[in-house]
């Protein structure tokens, strides 16, 4: 059990922001300290949470700052619950790491290492981590372990949830326009998780490499923002069995068919082409969500 506590509603908002990336989390409970509450009121809230969830015996309290009332209340609570661990320095970065399985001590150390100006420091850290890649399962089948349509490309859900869920050793961005933009390529290199390789290719370039079996033994997570890239890949002979249509932004002429998916008539034509080629289409925002049949969403959205 993790109790997140702060002055005002910061803890509640941080948890809500985290769940935008991870989906609904179990075992995380926010506590807000507002005037005219006192320290005893905060302690009582901690006590109420553990009484309502007696099955959660391990309690960790993460406060916003040390020596503030939420943290002081945590220390008082710890006096009658000595097994409770108390931390200070609640942030989205730290919470996201904890929510995806990192132990709190390691999560805080990771935050301290990565915090600061985004840029060179993060690229150096990513390169350092990449020199000691995390062990991933051997892959003797199709190197494509996940194919996703996502207008945001590499973002929180992709970098933390999906890459870990599919144990990807390489993220591949296929986009004929991004290949020509040094700025966009540099941004993607900064966003890729440490220890994971990155390829940014045109559709033809990716198809050529797959045909030469350059990624055999790897676990490739392929992401596109433009569904026509998938049509080009499939027509070039790349073995794509299924596609997760995760996020497509609203644009002129588009119809929203799911919370995060809006499609144009041109998109629908591409999806029909993929279906005719035997590609299974589904919609799944985060790994813990159930898969929804994408063609059923399209059919409902067209009515």
Q: Average pLDDT of 127-150?
A: 67
Residue 137 pLDDT: 58
**Contact in structure between 153 and 14 (CB atoms under 8 Å):** no
pLDDT > 90 in the chain, percent = 69
Residue 139 pLDDT: 62
Residue 126 pLDDT: 46
- CA torsion, ordered 173, 178, 183, 187, to nearest 10 deg: -20
Please report the sign of the dihedral spanned by the C-alpha atoms of residue 172, residue 176, residue 178, residue 182.
Answer: positive
Q: Average pLDDT of 263-275?
A: 96
Helices 228-235 and 203-211, packing angle to 10 deg: 30
Read off the pLDDT of residues 84-94 as tens digits, 9 standing for 90 and up.
999 999 999 99
- Residue scoring higher pLDDT (60 or 285): 60
- CA 247/CA 152 separation, integer angstroms: 8
- Cβ count near 52 (within 10 Å): 9
Q: Lowest-confidence range among 4-13, 27-36, 188-197, 215-224?
A: 188-197
Q: Lowest-confidence range among 104-108, 136-140, 296-300?
A: 136-140
pTM: 0.71
Q: Indicate if the pLDDT at residue 170 is higher than 70.
A: yes
**Residues with catalytic annotation?**
155
Q: Lowest-confidence range among 22-36, 131-145, 223-237, 285-299?
A: 131-145
Q: Indicate if the pLDDT at residue 12 is higher than 50.
A: yes
Q: Indicate if the pLDDT at residue 230 is higher than 50.
A: yes
What is the pLDDT confidence band of residue 301, given thresholds at 50, 70 and 90? confident
Going across the sheet that includes 28-33, the strands are 28-33, 2-7, 60-63, 85-88
Is 60 in a helix, a strand, or coil?
A: strand
Read off the pLDDT of residues 22-72 as tens digits, 9 standing for 90 and up.
888 999 999 999 988 999 999 999 999 999 988 877 999 999 999 899 999
Residue 138 pLDDT: 62
DSSP string, 177-216: TGGG-HHHHHHHHHHSPTT-EEEEE-HHHHHHHHHTTTTT
What is the pLDDT confidence band of residue 155, given thresholds at 50, 70 and 90? confident
Write down the mean pLDDT value for the chain. Answer: 89
Residue 159 pLDDT: 82
Residue 291 pLDDT: 94
């Amino acid at each position: 059990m993790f109790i997140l506590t702060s002055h005002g509603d910061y803890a509640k908002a941080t948890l809500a922001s985290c769940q935008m990336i991870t989906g609904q989390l179990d075992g995380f409970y926010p506590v807000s300290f507002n005037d005219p509450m006192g320290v005893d009121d905060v302690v009582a809230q901690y006590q109420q949470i553990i009484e309502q969830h007696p099955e959660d015996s391990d309690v960790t309290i993460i406060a916003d700052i040390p020596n503030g009332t939420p943290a002081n209340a945590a220390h008082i609570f710890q006096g009658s619950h000595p097994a409770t661990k108390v931390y200070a320095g609640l942030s989205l970065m730290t919470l996201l790491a904890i929510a995806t399985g990192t132990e709190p001590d390691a999560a805080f150390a990771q935050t301290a290492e990565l915090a600061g100006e985004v840029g060179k420091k993060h690229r150096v850290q990513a390169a350092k981590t990449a020199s000691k890649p995390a062990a991933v399962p051997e892959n003797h089948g199709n190197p494509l372990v996940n194919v996703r349509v996502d207008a945001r490309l590499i973002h929180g859900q992709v970098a933390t949830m999906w890459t870990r869920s599919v144990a990807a050793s390489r993220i591949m961005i296929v986009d004929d326009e991004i290949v020509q933009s040094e700025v966009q390529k540099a941004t993607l290199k900064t966003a890729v998780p440490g220890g994971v390789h990155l390829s940014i290719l045109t559709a033809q370039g990716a198809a050529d490499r797959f045909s030469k079996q350059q990624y055999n033994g790897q676990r490739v997570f392929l992401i596109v923002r433009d569904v026509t890239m998938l049509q080009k890949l499939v027509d070039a002979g790349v073995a794509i069995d299924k596609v997760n249509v995760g996020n497509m932004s609203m644009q002129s002429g588009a119809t929203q068919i799911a919370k995060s998916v809006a499609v144009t008539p041109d998109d629908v034509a591409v999806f029909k082409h993929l279906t005719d080629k035997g590609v299974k289409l589904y919609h799944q925002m985060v790994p813990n969500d159930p898969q929804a049949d994408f063609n059923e969403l399209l059919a409902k959205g067209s009515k």
